[in-house]
């Protein structure tokens, strides 16, 4: 590893002029190499600028094993496959075989394209034009990956009629199975040395394996998780259950489409679909009306069923009637049999969500706009992950810029069920004391005080004038974000952008392209956003990012720890907030030439005893409570 990553090593010789040796990169590569050699798990916190991708890629290749690399996002998958892997193949491993695997809905279904030609399924001239372009693209593309379709808007309904999602797939019975883009993806993966996935696909596969429903990924012997701090949330989703009005509506729509394509099913089947739609609308309208998440604990579910038993039975009966009607057809095309299987699955999941009382699940309801979601989430996934992942494989490498709390991995290990692992927090590659100033204003009210919002708006306005805009203002709630946004934009001359007014990527591109821009945003901008250079010179956070205590999942986890006689605030709520704060502040310094101000408006970080844990967990920033020091810092030469 020293020959590769050390001063004057192969990496330095292969890189463009200006590359600098990074001590932490060599250290991480040695740790990963040792983990593969000694077949043990590794937890390594590696800050921005470490070059951690190459530090795990090259040891993974040298191990000679089939390794899965799981990333937090599809964009990071693309970066690995289009930038880092070609570099490694060019300079180190020309024979290396690498496959990218994504969820099925990212790919085109050839059979649907052929079936849809000439059918009265498309709506309007725009869809007809898009379909014509997709039909031409289908003849040329090697992957069938939607990312190649630059003309198709993200929200276009047409894609859902053409994608290869599991719910509408007829598998090996499909005429196009041998030419299918999903089949091709699986074959590439079966022949690959490295398989690049995202966390969602990885845990979808692990959940299928747990239930003996087969698998998505081919067999592998080791896993590297990049951005591993997100694992608990993703695993909780995939080891839980969820239904929504959207799933029922998709089932009805797909049933009608299957009838039109196959020319099967009598008027009676169409009546069954219409009846199902009516029952879905009736049932979901009866669920509690408040926006956001709310609890559906056993008592409230039992009371709901007692009050609305006829509607519940009507929904379950409509699903069963659809299954029975398809079973009675003299000719049963696979497309309609798939619809019947989905209806039976939805019936079983609905029964689980409203009738089961398994203790390790928290049951909850969420309304988001027109969407109504009912879910059961495991309160604790540690035992599942210990058995299915950490005990099942001898080498799991987990890395991120935010894994440790006060320099320790106790929180992560407890939440994920990790019993034995090598642990390391690598030294930072940046000079945070010189590059960043942490500002905690003196004199602001407590964040829970009604006077906080107007005072915070004044403070943000002063800061933006000192930094010439160029800032992210990050909030823990939409309500407070909107309130402060309205107050600030009346006070400053900078272009101000607000989350929710445009798609996330469009807002980010507008921020990068607009001099002096200020972006007001919530949790989705706290991580995975990269704006190096002077365009982002200030990150302002309104309050310590404690999870909402009334959220059903958070409340259930707090209750479980409390019932076990443990301190839920110290063991769960504080560490989770520390990691979130580290992610938010991590947006600012992305290169050795970056400089900027980090401001947190929540004075609890200095007033409360637990604030010390937050300060200890952050890099060694210069710290001030004097806004005049902020002004001097921003005027100082780089």
Does 216 share its domain with 171?
no
Region for residue 222 given its phi and psi (left: phi exceeds 0; alpha: psi -120 to 50; beta: otherwise): beta
Q: Domain boundary at 425, 458, 490, which?
A: 425
With a cut of 90, say whether residue 593 has pLDDT above it.
Answer: no
Query: Would 346 be classed as within a structural domain?
Result: yes
pLDDT for res 121:
67
Query: Would 497 be classed as within a structural domain?
Result: yes
The number of distinct structural domains making up the chain is: 4
Mean pLDDT of 382-408: 95
More confident residue, 495 or 299: 495
CA quadruple 517, 522, 523, 524: dihedral sign: negative
Residues 6+ apart with CB under 8 A from 269: 255, 259, 322, 325, 326, 329
Tokens of 46: 């590696």
Cα separation, 247 vs 342, whole angstroms: 10
Q: Measure Cα distances from 337 to 266, 333, 353 in Å.
A: 15, 6, 24
Q: What is the CATH number of the domain that holds 387?
A: 3.40.50.300
Mean pLDDT of 322-343: 92
Query: Would 523 be classed as within a structural domain?
Result: yes
With a cut of 90, say whether residue 251 has pLDDT above it.
Answer: yes
Mean pLDDT of 170-189: 93
Q: What is the pLDDT of residues 208-217, one digit of tens each?
A: 887 766 789 9
Q: How confident is the model at residue 15 (pLDDT cuts 50, 70, 90)?
A: confident
Closest C-alpha to 583, from 235, 228, 238, 233: 228
Q: How confident is the model at residue 530 (pLDDT cuts 50, 70, 90)?
A: confident
pLDDT for res 49:
83
Does 485 share its domain with 522?
yes
pLDDT for res 489:
94
pLDDT for res 132:
92
Torsion angle, CA of 580/583/588/592, rounded to 10 degrees?
A: 140
Region for residue 561 given its phi and psi (left: phi exceeds 0; alpha: psi -120 to 50; beta: otherwise): alpha
Does 374 share its domain with 385?
no
With a cut of 90, say whether residue 122 has pLDDT above it.
Answer: no
Query: Would 560 be classed as within a structural domain?
Result: yes
With a cut of 70, say whether residue 39 has pLDDT above it.
Answer: yes
Query: Would 187 be classed as within a structural domain?
Result: no
Q: Sheet of 622-624: strands edge to edge?
A: 496-498, 518-521, 471-474, 538-541, 596-600, 436-439, 622-624
Say if residues 377 and 362 touch (Cβ distance below 8 Å).
yes
Query: Would 344 be classed as within a structural domain?
Result: yes
More confident residue, 457 or 256: 457
Cα separation, 598 vs 435, whole angstroms: 11
Q: How many other C-beta atoms can be found within 10 angstroms of the C-beta atom of residue 316?
A: 17
Mean pLDDT of 140-165: 89
More confident residue, 564 or 214: 564
Does 219 share its domain with 307?
no
Least confident of 13-22, 293-302, 323-332, 569-578: 13-22
Q: What is the pLDDT of residues 402-432, one digit of tens each?
A: 999 999 999 999 999 999 999 999 999 899 9
With a cut of 80, say whether residue 507 has pLDDT above it.
Answer: yes
Say if residues 315 and 279 touch (Cβ distance below 8 Å).
yes
Say if residues 474 and 529 touch (Cβ distance below 8 Å).
no
Domain span including residue 370: 241-378
Does 418 share its domain with 450?
no
pLDDT for res 284:
95
Mean pLDDT of the chain: 92
Cα separation, 116 vs 514, whole angstroms: 43
With a cut of 90, say whether residue 21 has pLDDT above it.
Answer: no
Query: Would 417 be classed as within a structural domain?
Result: yes
Query: Would 516 be classed as within a structural domain?
Result: yes
Does 126 share its domain with 196?
no
Closest C-alpha to 295, from 354, 366, 239, 234: 366
Q: Domain boundary at 139, 158, 182, which?
A: 182
Task: Give the CA diameter of the chain.
Answer: 82
With a cut of 70, say whether residue 537 has pLDDT above it.
Answer: yes
Does 172 share its domain with 152?
yes
- Most trustworthy range by pLDDT among 112-126, 248-262, 576-590, 618-632: 618-632
Mean pLDDT of 259-268: 81
Mean pLDDT of 604-611: 94
| Secondary structure (DSSP) of 418-452 | --S-EEEEPPPSS-HHHHEEEE--SSPPPTTSTTH
Does 88 share its domain with 34?
yes
Mean pLDDT of 375-404: 96
As beta bridge partners, residue 519 has: 472, 497
Does 267 share its domain with 391?
no
Tokens of 160: 């859902």
pLDDT for res 212:
62
With a cut of 90, say whether residue 229 has pLDDT above it.
Answer: yes
Cα separation, 381 vs 237, whole angstroms: 10
Does 225 share its domain with 261?
no
Does 564 share its domain with 513?
yes
Q: What is the CATH number of the domain that holds 274?
A: 1.10.275
Least confident of 2-16, 95-109, 342-356, 524-538: 524-538
Mean pLDDT of 519-537: 83
Does 17 share its domain with 159?
no
More confident residue, 88 or 297: 88
Q: Domain boundary at 154, 182, 210, which?
A: 182
pLDDT for res 48:
85
With a cut of 70, say whether residue 120 has pLDDT above it.
Answer: no
């Amino acid at each position: 590893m020293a020959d590769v990553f050390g001063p004057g090593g192969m990496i330095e010789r292969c890189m463009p002029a200006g590359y600098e040796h990074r001590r932490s990169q060599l250290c991480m590569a040695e740790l990963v190499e040792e983990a593969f050699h000694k077949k043990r798990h590794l937890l390594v916190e590696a800050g921005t600028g470490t070059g951690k991708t190459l530090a795990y890629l090259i040891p993974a290749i040298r191990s000679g094993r089939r390794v899965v690399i799981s990333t937090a996002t599809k964009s990071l998958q693309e970066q690995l496959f289009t930038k880092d892997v070609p570099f490694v193949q060019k300079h180190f491993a020309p024979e290396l075989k690498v496959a990218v695997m994504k969820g099925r809905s990212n790919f085109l279904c050839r059979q649907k394209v052929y079936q849809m030609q000439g059918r009265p399924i498309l709506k309007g001239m725009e869809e007809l034009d898009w379909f014509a372009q997709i039909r031409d693209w289908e003849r040329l593309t090697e992957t069938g990956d939607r990312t190649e379709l630059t003309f198709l808007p993200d929200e276009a309904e047409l894609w859902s009629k053409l994608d290869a999602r599991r719910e509408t797939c007829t598998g090996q019975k499909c005429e196009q199975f041998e030419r299918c883009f999903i089949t091709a993806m699986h074959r590439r993966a079966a022949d690959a040395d490295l398989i690049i996935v995202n966390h969602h696909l990885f845990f979808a596969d692990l959940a299928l394996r747990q239930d003996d429903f087969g698998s998505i990924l081919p067999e592998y012997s080791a896993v590297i998780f990049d951005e591993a701090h997100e694992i608990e949330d993703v695993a909780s989703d995939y080891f839980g259950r969820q239904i929504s009005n959207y799933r029922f509506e998709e089932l009805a729509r797909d049933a009608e489409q299957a009838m039109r394509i196959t020319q099967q099913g009598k008027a009676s089947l169409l009546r069954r679909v219409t009846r199902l739609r009516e029952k879905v609308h009736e049932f979901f309208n009866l669920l509690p009306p408040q926006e956001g998440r709310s609890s559906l604990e056993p008592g409230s579910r039992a009371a709901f069923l007692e009050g609305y038993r006829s509607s519940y039975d009507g929904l379950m009966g409509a699903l069963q009637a659809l299954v029975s009607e398809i079973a009675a057809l003299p000719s049963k095309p696979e497309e309609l049999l798939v619809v019947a299987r989905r209806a039976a699955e939805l019936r079983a999941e609905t029964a689980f969500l409203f009738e089961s009382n398994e203790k390790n699940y928290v049951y909850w309801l969420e309304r988001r706009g027109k969407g109504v979601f009912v879910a059961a989430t495991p309160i604790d996934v540690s035992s599942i992950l210990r058995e299915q992942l950490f005990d099942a494989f001898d080498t799991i490498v987990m890395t991120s810029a935010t894994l440790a709390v006060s320099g320790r991995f106790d929180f992560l290990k407890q939440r994920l069920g990790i019993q034995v692992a090598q642990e390391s927090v690598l030294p930072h590659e940046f000079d945070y004391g010189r590059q960043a100033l942490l500002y905690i204003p003196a004199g602001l009210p407590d964040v829970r005080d009604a006077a906080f919002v107007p005072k915070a708006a004044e403070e943000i306005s002063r800061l933006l004038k000192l930094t010439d805009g160029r800032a992210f203002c990050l909030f823990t709630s939409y309500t407070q974000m909107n309130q402060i946004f309205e107050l600030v934009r009346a006070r400053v001359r900078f272009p101000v952008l607000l989350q929710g007014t445009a798609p996330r990527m469009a807002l980010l591109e507008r921020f990068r392209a607009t001099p002096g821009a200020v972006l007001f945003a919530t949790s989705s901008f706290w991580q995975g956003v990269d704006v190096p250079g002077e365009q982002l010179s200030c990150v302002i956070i309104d309050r310590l990012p404690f999870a909402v205590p009334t959220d059903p999942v958070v409340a259930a986890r707090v209750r479980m720890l409390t019932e076990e006689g443990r301190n839920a605030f110290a063991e769960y709520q504080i560490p989770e907030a520390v990691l979130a704060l580290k992610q938010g502040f991590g947006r600012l310094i992305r290169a050795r030439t970056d400089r900027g101000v980090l401001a947190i408006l929540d004075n609890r970080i200095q007033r409360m005893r637990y604030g010390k844990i937050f300060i200890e967990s952050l890099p060694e920033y210069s710290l001030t409570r004097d806004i005049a020091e902020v002004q001097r810092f921003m005027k100082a030469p780089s």
